[in-house]
Structure formats: C-alpha cells, structure tokens
C-alpha cells in the first residue's frame, strides 16, 4: 500500500477548530445525520488524508483496520481474479462511505481515480461511536439499503442488458452519484478511463468506444473530451437504456 499523506498542517489546524463546517461532503454523507456534539466526537476520531490519482486507500487482502468517508474526488473499488483479471464493482464520490462491512481483511481494493481526500477512522473506534449514536447507526443502515439496491441494479445491468443499454444506463446514472460536483445541465463528468468503464460494465474497451461513437453519430450525445460528455437527447438516451430503442 502506498503511504497516504495527511493534509497540510493548516488543514489540520482547521480540523481542530471545526473542520466539518468546511467539508463539502458533509451534507452528502452519514455525517449529516448527527448533531454538532456527536459531529465533534466523530471529527476527533478522523485522520484526514489526501491521495493523488492511482494512490491506494487499501488493497484486497489487507487487514481491515479502518473505515473511510470520501470527502472529495473519486475512488474506484474492484476485485482481482486469481488470473489477474479485474472487475470494477463501483465508483465512489464525495459523501460515500466504505470499509465498515469488511471482515478481518478487505475483500476488494480501493484506489483514487483522481486527486481525492477522505476521512479515515479506526474501525473499532467508529463502531463504538455507532453504538452510542443512534442517528449515525440509522444513517449507515439507510446507506446499506441503498447500496443493496444499487448492487441489485448492477446485477440486472450485467446479466440482462446489451452493451449499448449498459453504456446508456451508465451515462444516465453517473451524475446522480457525484452530486458534490454539479455541472451544466446535461454534462457528465467522467473521471474514469474507457478501460475502467469497460471493467465496470463487463465489456471490452472497443465495445464501449463503439457504443459511445454510435450515440455520437445518432446525435444523442456529444463527446466534448475524454472526460466530459454532453447529453443532447436525454429522453432518447433513457429509451435506449431501457431497451426500447
């Protein structure tokens, strides 16, 4: 695992003063569910870390000693098969929480897609706080229900949808997962590569590229850059995502 850097000392000073007041992810995370007193207790347990693109929060098989709350940027989570193949199982953004459900070791890896930051907590301390803070426990349970529903939708996407339907669904759903970074209407920010999109959708890079080119040719989207797409016909994209095209 790469060494994670703490935020600069100025940020640390602000954290002691009340860093949560300056956190852009607060309203989007489980932290929004607790009062100021409990938030101060939570902040006292937090270690603030910064990552560059490609740096690791943890690797599959590492001892699961910590839990994390993403506060900026984005993270990919993935599993490796014995033969080295990779399956990306999700992309996480500001406000997303990870690591609490792990057993003795992490059963997946987490890496920054781009410059990112997170709050890291010792799992034992965080679990003790949960037991003393019903609002936090409820928020985490609600988050777990949401993640279960997302997993069921992902099973449907991988098991029943065509390649074009998968790409259309991905473009429609991605902005809703990254509310801390709103953009102009119809714009989709893609911090991940085409290869990472392919791994997430269970496709090849070539298939993803062909699907995007087809949508562009039909006037459904505009490819502004490798990291930004403009949806020109959202209703048409929704129809295609549902297999009605």
Tens of pLDDT along 192-223? 999 999 999 999 999 999 999 999 999 999 99
Q: Is 152 exposed, middle or buried (0-12, 13-18, 19+ CB in 10 A)?
A: exposed
Residue 148 counted as domain residue: no
Binning pLDDT at 50, 70 and 90, where does residue 102 land? low
- Is 149 among the domain residues? no
H/E stretch holding 240 reads: helix 234-241
Q: Which pLDDT value is given to residue 11?
A: 44
Half-sphere exposure of 48 (CA within 13 A, CB side): 20
The answer as to whether 143 is a domain residue is no
Same domain, 131 and 168: no
- Amino acid 185: pLDDT: 85
Q: Which of 19-28, 180-189, 206-215 has the lowest mean pLDDT?
A: 19-28
Half-sphere exposure of 109 (CA within 13 A, CB side): 18
33 assigned to some structural domain: yes
Q: What is the pLDDT of residues 52-94, one digit of tens each?
A: 999 999 999 999 999 999 999 999 999 998 898 889 999 999 9
For residue 84, is it within any domain?
yes
**Cβ(43)–Cβ(18) below 8 Å:** yes
Q: Give the confidence band of 1 by pLDDT, cuts at 50, 70, 90.
A: very low
Q: Do both 104 and 172 map to the same domain?
A: no
What confidence category does residue 38 fall into, taking pLDDT thresholds of 50, 70 and 90? confident
Same domain, 86 and 28: yes
Q: Are both 76 and 173 inside the same structural domain?
A: no
Q: What domain range includes position 35? A: 5-135
| Same-domain pairing of 110 and 228 | no
CB atoms within 10 A of CB 168: 26
Are the C-beta atoms of 221 and 229 separated by less than 8 Å? yes
Regarding whether 130 and 10 lie in a shared domain, the answer is yes
Residue 149 buriedness (CB in 10 A; 0-12 / 13-18 / 19+): exposed
Kindly state whether residue 146 falls inside one of the protein's structural domains.
no
Q: Does residue 20 sit in the same domain as residue 112?
A: yes
30 & 130 share domain: yes
CB 88 within 8 A of CB 71: no
Query: What span, in angstroms and rounded, lies between the C-alpha atoms of 244 and 237?
Result: 10
In a domain, 94, yes or no: yes
Q: Do the domain assignments include residue 154? A: no
Mean pLDDT in residue range 120-124: 93
> Which pLDDT belongs to residue 8?
46
Residue 30 pLDDT: 82
In terms of pLDDT, which residue wins out, 220 or 10? 220
62, 130: one domain: yes
Domain count, the chain: 2
Q: Tell which of 89, 119, 135 closes a domain.
A: 135
| CATH number of the domain that residue 51 is part of | 2.60.120.10
């Amino acid at each position: 695992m790469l060494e994670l850097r703490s935020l600069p000392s100025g940020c640390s000073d602000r954290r002691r003063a009340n860093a949560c007041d300056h956190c852009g992810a607060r309203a989007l995370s489980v932290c929004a569910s607790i009062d100021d007193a409990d938030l101060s207790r939570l902040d006292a347990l937090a270690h603030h870390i910064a990552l560059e693109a490609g740096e690791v929060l943890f690797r599959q098989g590492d001892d699961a000693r910590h839990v994390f709350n993403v506060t900026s940027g984005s993270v990919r989570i993935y599993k490796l098969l014995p033969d080295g193949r990779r399956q990306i199982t999700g992309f996480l953004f500001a406000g997303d929480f990870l690591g609490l459900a792990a057993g003795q070791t992490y059963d997946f890896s987490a890496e920054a897609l781009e410059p990112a930051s997170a709050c890291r907590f010792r799992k034992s301390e965080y679990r003790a706080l949960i037991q003393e803070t019903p609002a936090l426990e409820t928020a985490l349970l609600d988050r777990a229900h949401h993640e279960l529903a997302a997993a069921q939708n992902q099973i449907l996407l991988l098991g029943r949808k065509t390649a074009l339907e998968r790409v259309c669904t991905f473009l429609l759903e991605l902005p809703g997962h990254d509310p801390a970074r709103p953009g102009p209407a119809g714009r989709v920010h893609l911090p991940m590569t085409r290869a990472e999109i392919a791994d997430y959708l269970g496709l090849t890079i070539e298939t993803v590229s062909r699907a995007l080119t087809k949508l562009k040719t039909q006037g459904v989207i505009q490819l502004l850059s490798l990291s930004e797409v403009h949806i020109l016909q959202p209703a048409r994209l929704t129809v295609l995502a549902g297999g009605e095209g």
